[in-house]
Amino acid sequence: MSSLGVAVRGVLRDGVEAYRDSPQATAWLRQHLARFEEPLRVAIAGKVKAGKSTLLNALVGEEIAPTDAGECTRVVTWYQDGPSPKVIMIPREGRPRPLTVARRDGALTIDLGGTPAERVDRLVVDWPSQSLRATSLIDTPGIASMSADTSARAGAFLVPEDAPAPADAVLYLMRHLHVSDVRFLESFHDQGVAKAAPVNTVAILSRADEIGVGRLDAMASARQIAGRYRRDDKLRSLCQTVVAVAGLLAQSGRTMRQAEFTALSALAKAEASDTEPLLLSADRFVRASETAPLDPETRAALLDRFGLFGVRLGITLIRRGTDDPGALSAELVKRSGLDELRTVLTTQFTERRDLLKSRSALLALELVLAREPIPASVPLAREVERITAGAHEFTELRLLTALRTRVVTLPKDVRAEAERLLGGDGGTPAARLGLDPSADPAQLREAALAALGGWQRRAESPLSDRSQVGTARTLVRTCEGLLASLPR
């Protein structure tokens, strides 16, 4: 654990001892102590039909999140690793109770047993999964839903008024950048030490294949748009980055069945004159045809699972020689953008695990100190302030946010380097120094020394104003920390 994590855990333990006569306060603080031992919590948010459950399934590699418009999709649902499949319903009132675990056509189905969604606080799904061991995923109801209660439930979970967010980080899905998306990200963004900020929010251009109307170059177009969004100053101030992902293709690629590969192969091997007219539109693809190599029901099932883009891409890949189900599955996942998203999750969230959890823990303690002032709360408040002001991780975070929101400005030629050194592209030494992940210690040390010298000169330059001098000094300390972390 980092020195910041050790310090925060220490002050939380002091808080538990100071509030030992307050069961509610000690339970609250113990809960945040326990969060340090838990996997990272990542919530998936977005408007209705943004593809949240589909993306969750793709990340896990199994169809465990219902994607239809059933009652359970209106409830916050936690997915975590467990020894055996289990679903627990936690109602707003009453005791938690288990629900029946069932699968239909390979997908998990959840039946609330007649309990209205508005009476359910959350569902907790245990599922044996390597993907869930490091990260617990939280599926949230659609924002801006036609049901005011459903939309309010999502907002209350993601942006609680008087508590740290239950999630450590958020994936926000959008089909394109709409004013309502910006409005929500603005409400989600808070300057408080432990609330939402650009560092723990990643925007995803979901259903990216639809941007190009299912063309084979659709993902290339989507990635260009995501790149423009990443360069947008407004969006950069509200989220860490923007990634284009074809969620349906990613899910189907990871869960592809032998029968589906066989069906795609039949289409690929058929005469082009018989298949090309089918691929012009979704309507034509499922329409009855005497010359089509598959019956309409099989084609409809393929369209439902892969989308028109996925069907076109699968046929093309098979025609080019990808004749193995495993190879086709891997290629579809690669083309979907899921691998890029996984890299982002590692570099932006997993590497910042202690920082993200520390922020939430400090806000939790601040709330206890404000709500239940006691004599012992004064030294505790001082310790919280000391950690918040003194931890270099928080200093870097504040500066990164200030640079992205233009509160602090730097010349254009060094701004990108400053953001990168502060962890804007990831927290590893190689990512901060702009080097390949395989760079050896000698290369890292050389780059860190060069960066250190450059920022020392800027800190001492009479041409730098006060804010630039302060920024340069912070970056000097960052470079010194990088050098200290490298093996000699």
Reported as a single tens digit per residue, the pLDDT across 194-228 is 344 556 788 999 888 888 777 888 899 999 999 88
DSSP state of 39: P
Phi, psi of 286 (to 5 degrees): -95, -5
Which amino acid would we find at residue 341? L
Tokens 């050896």 correspond to 440
pLDDT for 196 equals 42
DSSP letters, 286-299, are: HS--SS-SS-HHHH
CATH of 38-246, one of 3.40.50.2300, 1.10.3260.10, 3.40.50.720, 3.40.50.300: 3.40.50.300
pLDDT for 257 equals 92
| Nearest alpha-carbon partner for 318 in 265, 249, 255 | 265
User: Among the residues of 287-439, which ranges form H helices?
Assistant: 296-319, 325-336, 338-344, 353-371, 377-390, 392-404, 412-421, 429-433
List, for residues 379-405, the tens digit of each pLDDT value: 999 999 999 888 898 888 888 878 877
* pLDDT at 148 > cutoff 70: no
Report residue 310 as tokens: 């996925």
pLDDT for 191 equals 45
The mean per-residue pLDDT over the stretch 49-58 comes to 91
Determine the Cα–Cα distance for residues 482 and 478; give it in Å rounded to an integer.
6
Whole-Å CA distances, 275 to 272, 279, 286, 288, 289: 5, 7, 12, 13, 10
Determine the Cα–Cα distance for residues 250 and 306; give it in Å rounded to an integer.
9
* pLDDT at 61 > cutoff 50: yes
The pTM of the full predicted model, rounded to 2 decimals, is: 0.85
pLDDT for 193 equals 46
Determine the Cα–Cα distance for residues 281 and 14; give it in Å rounded to an integer.
64
User: Among the residues of 139-281, which ranges form H helices?
Assistant: 148-158, 179-188, 218-231, 233-236, 247-254, 258-269, 272-275
| Mean residue pLDDT across the chain | 87
Phi, psi of 244 (to 5 degrees): -95, 125
**Better pLDDT: 336 or 196:** 336
List, for residues 102-144, the tens digit of each pLDDT value: 887 767 888 888 888 888 889 999 999 999 998 999 999 887 6
Rounded percentage of the chain residues whose pLDDT exceeds 90: 48
Instruction: Kindly list the domain boundaries of the chain, sorted by start residue.
Output: 38-246, 250-336, 408-487
Tokens 């418009």 correspond to 69
For residues 97-132, b (16+ Cβ closer than 10 Å) or e, as one string? eebebeeeeebbbbebeebebeebebbbbbbebebb
* pLDDT at 314 > cutoff 60: yes
Tokens 């998306």 correspond to 181
* Paired strand residues for 158: none
pLDDT for 300 equals 92
